[in-house]
Amino acid sequence: MLSKRDTSTIGTIIGLIVVVIAIGGSVLFGWEWGAPNQPVATAVGGIAVIIAVVFTIRQYT
């Protein structure tokens, strides 16, 4: 049985913001994801993971 598709607007907006930050940081600032001297890139990725986990848990509880 397939679960109902999540149509969360806030989730989509947060996802788009993270994508824009990721692409902009990579192109404009030369961020390399996972590089040891790039704490901002790692922090953005970590925050995105935390938000995704919270949304997933809230969806299934």
- Give the pLDDT of the chain (61 residues) as one tens digit per residue: 455 655 667 777 777 888 888 788 888 888 777 677 777 777 877 888 888 788 778 877 7
Residue 26 to residues 6, 38, 39, Cα–Cα distance (Å): 29, 11, 13
Residues contacting 15, CB < 8 A, separation 6+: none
What confidence score (pLDDT) does residue 8 get?
Answer: 67
What confidence score (pLDDT) does residue 15 get?
Answer: 78
Q: Are 24 and 44 in contact (CB under 8 A)?
A: no
